[in-house]
Chains A and B, each alone.
Chain A
Amino acid sequence: DAKTTQPTSMDCAEGRAANLPCNHSTISGNEYVYWYRQIHSQGPQYIIHGLKNNETNEMASLIITEDRKSSTLILPHATLRDTAVYYCIVKSYNAGNMLTFGGGTRLMVKP
């Protein structure tokens, strides 16, 4: 699976959009971009995934660049409960859920 690079930490004001970037320059054609988050003392939680088109669900939006070498997870109106570590993961369709987590981005939402 391709390697991902994320900033170690970010801050966001409550109510503002949180934009979390991820670089995955070695991604191959059959690999998807997944995002999970982990709130303190809990297991990771799935957020969203995509292949090449932008995706949106009730939690977030995922914007993938046309060359697929980077993506951005957008939390449109961050709340204090969105404070967590956010992991960007690249995996192939057939890899099941043998996920390779990196260090993630620690997002702190501040009042």
Chain B
Amino acid sequence: DTGVSQNPRHKITKRGQNVTFRCDPISEHNRLYWYRQTLGQGPEFLTYFQNEAQLEKSRLLSDRFSAERPKGSFSTLEIQRTEQGDSAMYLCASSLAAGNTEAFFGQGTRLTVV
């Protein structure tokens, strides 16, 4: 399968713990995006990378959240000191860098903070 891959698919963690999610984009895509989706709502943009550079961050991305894309390939999203309000689906998408190409989304990582 050459689509966007996210791991793990599900994560249950205790409040206060740190979690890390991984996203492997489509190999030739140099743009990578992270979104968060809570139940019943549309996805909300968090941040995006062009190659290894993080070019945009939403106000939703609090200082407990950090994202990296060290070699311009896969990306990780870490949440420190998780809170119950962090429970959501975390979606990754990738696209080519041209302005008008569509985004390809992964199936997401569902985080439950208990």
Contact = CB atoms under 8 A, between A and B. Distances in A.
Partners in one complex: yes
Interface of A: 32, 34, 41-46, 49, 85, 87, 93-104
5 contacts: A43-B105, A46-B102, A97-B33, A97-B103, A99-B45
B22 to A, nearest CB: 15
Size range of the chain B interface in the assembly: 20 to 34
Given A42-B107, A46-B104, A103-B41, A94 B99 contact: yes
A98 B56 contact: yes
Contacts of A46: 102-104
B26 interface: no
A30 to B, nearest CB: 10
Interface of B: 4, 31, 33, 35, 41-45, 48, 56, 91, 93, 95, 97, 99-108
Interface SS majority for chain A: loop
Contacts of A49: 100, 102
B42 A87 contact: yes
Contact of B105 (A32, A45, A85, A103): A45
Contacts of B31: 96-97
Contacts of A99: 35, 43, 45, 103
Given A32-B100, A49-B100, A96-B95, A101 B106 contact: no
